[in-house]
Every structure is written in C-alpha cells, then in structure tokens.
Amino acid sequence: MSGEPEIARLKACGVVPVVVIDEAEVAVPLARALLAGGIDVIEVTLRRPAALAALERIAREVPEILSVAGTVVTPLQVAEVKRVGAQAVVSPGFSEAVDEAMRAAGLPWLPGVATASDCMRAVSAGRVTCKFFPAEQAGGTPVLKALSGPFPQLKFCPTGGVSLANLADYLALPQVICVGGSWLVPADAVAKRDWARVTQLAREARDAVKAIRG
C-alpha cells in the first residue's frame, strides 16, 4: 500500500490538528504557527469553499508541513485535493467509490470507521490505517480496544472529542498511531489571527505526546 512515509510522519507527530479555514489567506500563517509549536502536520477539512485554496497555499509556501485533506467524501474531491498538492487524505467514513478514487490518486488514505462492519469493509479493501470517528461519541477507548480483537491488523487515528484531557488514553494503545482534533486551532484564535495561541496549543500537545511516548 502506498503512503508509508506520510503515515510514518503522522505517527511521529502524534497529533493531527483538524482545521476549518474560512479565508485562504490564514492558511500559511496558521501552518507556520503549528510548525513553531512543533506540529508538522495539518488537516484542512473540505467543509468550507476556501479549503482547496488553503491546501494549495500550504503545499506551495509551507512544504515543511505535511498537508492532509480532510472530510473528503466524493471521488471528485479526491481529484481536487490531489490537484492542489495534498499529501494524504482523511475521510469521516468508508466508501468503495472513494477507495477506488484514492487508489487511482496514489495518495495515502485514512477512511473513517466506527463499527465492525466499517472495519470489515476497510480490511476487504486492503486498508490498514483508519480514522476512528467519531471517537468519543462512538464509545472511546473501550470500543477501539474491542474492535482490535477481530481486526488486529488495523491501526487508528482517533478523532472526534479528543483533546489534551484524553489524548493520553488513546496514545497509550498500541493500535493508535496518532490522534486528531480541532482543539489545537480554535475558531476564535483564527478569527483574531492569534498565532501565538495556536503555537502555544501546538506546543502543549507536542509536549503531551512526548511525555507519553518518551
């Protein structure tokens, strides 16, 4: 399966900031603020029209950060995020159509799973690394541990309700490569261009990962 270097970078970072960008011009200072705090991965969700332009700017102007496209739910979006230079793709769920498009795109893909049936579809498609979404709402670490019984080959990035308060519980599990969350980039900090706060939140998250992993 392609994408091993990108998956290794997600794992090394340990935390994936999930961001919503309303104005493409914040993308570059935001990515730089995360880097300054020691986080070299950013997931820009396709929830706003500015997302593609934001990904394009990050890929062009901040190549040191791994640019990940999130909330990719259609084959057309796969083509679009590839065109703007996204290096990996995350989806909230699994679909055969997106799986096929991702194969054609040749980028690493983390499909979302929350149930045993989702995991069966991912495994049938040869997928190894999945987003566990919505992590807390789907049952948190007990459900993740239960899913790893029948699916020991799957690795996960739990996202949804993850924060500094519970990230250690997830990262302590061997099947968890990293966690994702929006807490690192609060909407009000972006609105105020408060990059120092984003850097501070990134640093706290990075320190928390280091404390757990040594």
Residues interacting with ligand 3PG, by CB under 6 A?
A: 18, 45, 70, 133, 159-162, 180-183
For residue 135, the minimal CB distance to ligand 3PG (Å) is 8
Active-site residue identified among 6, 56, 82, 131: 131
Question: What whole-number distance in Å separates Cα of residue 205 and Cα of residue 211?
Answer: 10
Nearer of residues 91 and 148 to ligand 3PG, judged by Cβ: 91
Nearer of residues 3 and 70 to ligand 3PG, judged by Cβ: 70
Closest by CA position to 112, among listed 149, 77, 84, 73: 73
Nearer of residues 45 and 148 to ligand 3PG, judged by Cβ: 45
Nearer of residues 7 and 20 to ligand 3PG, judged by Cβ: 20
For residue 214, the minimal CB distance to ligand 3PG (Å) is 25
Establish whether 131 is a catalytic residue. Answer: yes
Question: What whole-number distance in Å separates Cα of residue 185 and Cα of residue 194?
Answer: 10
Establish whether 56 is a catalytic residue. Answer: no
Question: What whole-number distance in Å separates Cα of residue 21 and Cα of residue 46?
Answer: 9
For residue 76, the minimal CB distance to ligand 3PG (Å) is 19
For residue 105, the minimal CB distance to ligand 3PG (Å) is 20
Active-site residue identified among 43, 56, 82, 155: 43
Mind telling me the catalytic residues? 43, 131
